[in-house]
Every structure is written in C-alpha cells, then in structure tokens.
Structure 1
Amino acid sequence: MSRRTRRALAALCLAAWVTGCGGPREPAVSLSPDDTLKAAQVLLTDRCLTRQGLTPPRPGGPPASTAVDHALFGTGRAELTLELPSGHVVGQHTDGCLAAAERRLYGDQRRWFRAVTLVNNLKSRAPREERAAYRELRAHGLTEARALLSASYNHH
C-alpha cells in the first residue's frame, strides 16, 4: 500500500473517530479512484483474514506468517494463468482472501485477471476488447468499492 493510501486511510479513520457514530456522514477525506479500490480491497481482505482468526499484515509490521500468506493469496497451483507475448506466464489463485475480494469488487475474477494483466503489462498495445473490459470492470469495481466503504463508514 502506498504512503498516500496509508495517509488517506489514517485520515478516514481519524475522521470517523473524531465525528463519532451519530449517524450517516460523508467521509471528510476524498480518495482517488485507485485509493478507493485499494481501500475496499484492504477492508475485504482484512475481514476475510479476521474471520479465519488471522491478523491482517500491515506495512512496517511483522512479516506475515505462512498461514496468513496462504489465507490471503491462496495455495497450490495458480488456477488462472495467462502467457504474455514476451513468453512470461502470469498466474493467480482463485482461492484466498484476495481472490474473494476481487470477485466481490469486479464480479468476474477470471475476466478481471485477464483484462488487468494485459492492460498493466501491454499498456496501449493491449487488445482493444481487453482495454474495454478493463474499463468496464474497473468502473463496476469502483461503484462496489464506494458502496462498501460508505456502508462500512456509516456503520462505525
């Protein structure tokens, strides 16, 4: 998580603490779309790890245990793989808290994995249909993330 994201999350937590729990309020801090998606992903993965009795890792904190790594990233062989034109193979698990967070935010983890991998690695050379899928799924994710963070904020 970037320093900017950590500062934004800290400011959001501080705003929630200072204003109390008197009722629904808009957060005092406005996050960028990237930071909104990251914050929602952190919220979802933290909840998932906590449900399993595990402590979510934090930047600057102790290294994550093997149990936390497995719960967060999944285990075994990566179920989703994609070979890039360079020959490099990118893989991702469909189990684990991160995969669950992606499904919650983007709806279709397999389609999101393909689109985000191609767009992030090939940039403007990514196929047009993958760039369109990336924009569509990211917009969906942003809507979901805003709703999730708003509901979480209003419940504190």
Structure 2
Amino acid sequence: MAAVGLSQAVRSTPAGALPASMVPHPREELFSVLVVDDHPLLREAIAARLAQMGAGTVHEAATVAEARARATATGPCDLAILDLGLPDGSGIELVTELRSHGWPRVVVLASSDDPYAVRSAFQAGAQAYLLKSASPVVVTDGVRRVLEGGGSLRAA
C-alpha cells in the first residue's frame, strides 16, 4: 500500500490504482472473472465495475465460442458473469459447461425476467440471476453476495 497526496491510500491492481474508499472487502480483492456479453459497451462497463470491486483479472468474450476459448485458456476463474442471449449459442448451455469444468460461481445478467429462463439458469448452476435493467448498486450487491458465498439470488 502506498500513500498519495493527503494520506489517501491506494491499492495497485492490474487495472490501476484505487482510492482506499473503493478498495473492497479483503475477501473480494483480486478475484478473477470472465464477462460474456455481445454488447461491447455493456461488457466494458461491467468489466470496469468489477475492477473497481477488486477484480485482479477480467477476461471478456462476446460469444459462446470466445467464452469457451477463454475458459479453456485460463482455466476456472473465481466468477463468470454472462448474458443468456448470445449470437452463437445458448447462455444456459454455457452456464452448464462452466460449472461442469469447475467454475465455482456463475452470475447471469439478462435482459428478460422470463420465469422459464430464470429457472433454467438456476437449474444449470447459476448462483444469481440479475437483470440488466437493475441499478448498478443492485448488480454490484448481487455480485458481492455471490463472491461471499451467498445462496441463490434473483434480483430485478
């Protein structure tokens, strides 16, 4: 830890330096994550938020094929956050694959709250089902709860 300016502590991460007020609970520091969404702006925004939360490594993918390639190359990350509506395949199948390959935590971030999709995501092994229309605070809190080992979570 280094002091900067008027005793403002910062923590260096691969994503840069964070003010002490933004350094997350130690349990969440330097976790690795895979973000899968076909919308670049949303994917980058999620990656930036995760870096603020303490993610040491954030991998990104826009398709099921890219996600599979990244998952194979990196091995299981601490967390995967993915959309269900991907251009080349099923997000539900991707949840199942990731969980069967040892990924400990999967959060679905979807645009629909269709009960069938929610049930399918949890049956496939997701720990949380969050809506893209939810506030950043709700999504951040949901991700934090999953990282802390919380049970199944559905939030709008």
TM-score (norm 2): 0.27
The structure with more strand, counted as a fraction of residues: 2
The structure with more helix, counted as a fraction of residues: 1
Larger Rg, first or second structure (1 or 2):
1
TM-score (norm 1): 0.27
